């Protein structure tokens, strides 16, 4: 084991290692440190809040950029004289990129590290979004949205994984959900800014802002973002690097001579990456997470991409349609409350209940046409419930997989799930082509919430999960 770490299980963050003779005398070696227990037993530091802030901004920019295409869609229809069905490839191009970016980045993250993948992905989606502002045709915009999606797809899961590996066990779901609130807040910010910027500066200004900001952020990431400490232990990085990183959480880590960690998840037999995700111990849970995330994104993208157009056709002014639509992603702030509940109660059941309530509220949107007050309320309520459920799934996945497969597990759930966003965009296009009513469209979309609920209940049945596992009974992993 690297750095002389012991495989003996320790009951505290530190334990004194064995002594050995030197010049005929017994000398005490430096203590070995259980890195997760060390994180659990020390206050959440300013260093950890800095990591949180950077990951939060990454997720916020992801939400802003992903939703921005839906808010500029009415302007594209007018300026380029195209039909709504012709918009479907543009609306879904970034989603294809998101899916492939996540599927590729997950295994690379488990092999190369969280930090390098985060920096590269932020640069890619910044360049892609910035370049999209200069598109002169639908084909060019579609290609650039795909490139943007590749970067976005790699950024989101690595931000979740990075943050989860610096969180105390008892607050992991709460902190990840709080971080993940950046996505719906970014999407809502895109709506509010688009409503102001497009009349003033045109639709291209929204993409210029969405592209330049991550390029600035990437410089900050290169300077300040550390590697995941759990990843460094799992991969046997030099003890000096691990010690230096943990010392930024608490100075007492400087006394450590070696490091080890325990996994709450089942043992993986030395395997990592996709072999963990598809192993017999994890395959059913993996598929259920994919199904739940897929169906959740059917609801999200069907709503966020088409609400402005559907509301406009229902008789609302373009500006009012955009502002009411922006209330839907804004509802993601409820994820913080859900995270607290997940840390205290059965997390699978908590998220499943949110999806069941999502189905009811989304159906209610279709019944609210003609009543502006009720429409505003039900759109916001549906957004709170839907985004709360969806934003909680990355925390659920991060807790489900061990360190050796966490990057792949989270990324593949997000990657496979992104095809749900593609399906949601095309679903509404097909329903409008078949002349479904306003209420009929939202009734069909609501079914996805029911399916997500059932998938998570099935995961709980096969992989029973409580709020926090007993660390004392977990498998030690030393480096």
315: domain CATH number is 1.20.1250.20
Averaged pLDDT for residues 237-248: 84
E strands, 256-335, in order: 258-263
Per the model's pLDDT, the better-predicted residue between 235 and 467 turns out to be 235
Q: Is residue 27 included in any domain, yes or no?
A: no
Return the DSSP state at 469: -
Q: What per-residue confidence (pLDDT) applies to 271?
A: 60
- In which residue are the tokens 């949180």 written? 52
- Lowest-confidence pick of 34-38, 227-231, 314-318: 314-318
Bridge partners of residue 478, in order along the sequence? 260
In a domain, 274, yes or no: yes
- What pLDDT shows up at residue 233? 85
pLDDT at 360: 92
Residue 303 lies in a domain: yes
pLDDT tens digit string along 198-235?
888 888 888 999 899 999 999 999 998 888 888 888 87
Residue 30: inside a domain, yes or no?
no
- Angle of the 46-80 helix axis to the 84-112 helix axis, nearest 10: 160
Contact yes or no for 251/385 (Cβ under 8 A): no
User: pLDDT at position 272, please?
Assistant: 59
- Average pLDDT (102-127) is 87
**Prediction pTM value:** 0.72
Half-sphere exposure of 6 (CA within 13 A, CB side): 18
Tell me, yes or no, whether 25 lies in a domain.
no
Return the percentage of the chain with pLDDT > 70, whole number. 87
Task: Say what the pLDDT of residue 127 is.
Answer: 94
pLDDT value at 342 more than 80: yes
Q: Tokens at residue 204, please?
A: 């291209």
Cβ-contact 151, 125 below 8 angstroms: yes
With tokens 């009543």, the residue in question is 371
Q: Is residue 450 part of a domain?
A: yes
Q: Distance between alpha carbon 309 and the CA centroid of its chain, in Å?
A: 27
Q: CB atoms < 10 A from the CB of 291, how many?
A: 21
∠ Cα 453 408 280 (to 5°): 70
Residue 343 lies in a domain: yes
Range of 399's domain? 41-228+270-473
**Considering the domain boundaries, does residue 448 fall inside one?**
yes
What whole-number distance in Å separates Cα of residue 227 and Cα of residue 236? 13
Taking each helix axis as running N to C, give the angle between helix 182-201 and helix 204-224, from 0 to 180 degrees, rounded to the nearest 10: 140
**pLDDT tens-digit map of 397-422:** 888 888 777 888 888 898 888 788 77
Please compute Rg for the chain using Cα positions: 23
Number of domains in the chain: 1
């Amino acid at each position: 084991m690297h750095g002389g770490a012991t495989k003996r299980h320790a009951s505290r963050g530190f334990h004194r290692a064995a002594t050995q003779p030197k010049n005929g005398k017994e000398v005490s070696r430096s203590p070995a440190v259980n890195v997760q227990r060390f994180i659990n037993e020390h206050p959440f530091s300013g260093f950890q809040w800095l990591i949180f802030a950077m990951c939060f901004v990454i997720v916020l920019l992801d939400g802003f950029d992903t939703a921005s295409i839906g808010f500029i869609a009415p302007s594209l229809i007018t300026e380029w004289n195209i039909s709504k069905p012709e918009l479907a490839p543009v609306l879904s191009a970034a989603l294809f990129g998101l899916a492939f970016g996540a599927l590729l980045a997950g295994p690379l993250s488990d092999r190369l590290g969280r930090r390098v993948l985060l920096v590269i992905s932020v640069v890619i989606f910044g360049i892609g979004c910035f370049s999209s502002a200069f598109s002169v045709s639908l084909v060019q915009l579609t290609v650039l949205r795909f490139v943007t999606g590749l970067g976005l797809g790699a950024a989101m899961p690595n931000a979740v994984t990075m943050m989860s590996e610096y969180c105390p066990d008892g607050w992991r779901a709460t902190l990840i959900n709080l971080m993940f609130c950046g996505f719906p807040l970014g999407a809502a910010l895109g709506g509010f800014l688009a409503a102001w910027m497009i009349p003033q500066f045109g639709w291209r200004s929204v993409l210029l802002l969405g592209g330049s900001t991550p390029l600035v952020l990437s410089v900050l990431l290169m300077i300040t973002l550390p590697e995941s400490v759990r990843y460094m232990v799992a991969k046997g990085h030099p003890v000096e690097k691990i010690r230096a990183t943990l010392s930024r959480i608490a100075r007492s880590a400087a006394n450590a001579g070696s490091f080890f960690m325990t996994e709450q998840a089942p043992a993986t037999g030395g395997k990592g990456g996709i072999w963990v995700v598809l192993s017999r111990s994890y395959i059913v849970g993996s598929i259920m997470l994919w199904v739940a995330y897929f169906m959740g994104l059917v609801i999200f993208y069907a709503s966020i991409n088409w609400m402005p157009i559907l509301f406009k056709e229902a008789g609302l002014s373009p500006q009012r349609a955009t502002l009411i639509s922006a209330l839907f992603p804004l509802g993601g702030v409820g994820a913080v409350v859900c995270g607290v509940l997940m840390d205290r109660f059965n997390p699978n059941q908590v998220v499943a209940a949110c999806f069941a309530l999502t189905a009811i509220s989304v159906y209610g949107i279709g019944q609210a046409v003609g009543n502006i007050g009720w429409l505003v309320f039900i759109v916001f309520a549906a957004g709170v419930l839907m985004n709360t459920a969806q934003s909680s799934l990355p925390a659920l996945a991060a807790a489900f997989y061990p360190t050796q497969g966490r990057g792949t597990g989270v990324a593949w759930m997000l990657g496979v799930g992104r095809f749900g966003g593609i399906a949601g965009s095309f679903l509404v296009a097909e329903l409008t082509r078949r002349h479904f009513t306003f209420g009929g469209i939202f009734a069909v979309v609501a079914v996805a919430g029911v399916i997500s609920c059932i998938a998570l209940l099935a995961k709980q049945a096969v992989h029973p999960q409580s709020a926090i596992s007993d660390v004392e009974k977990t498998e030690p992993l030393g480096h």
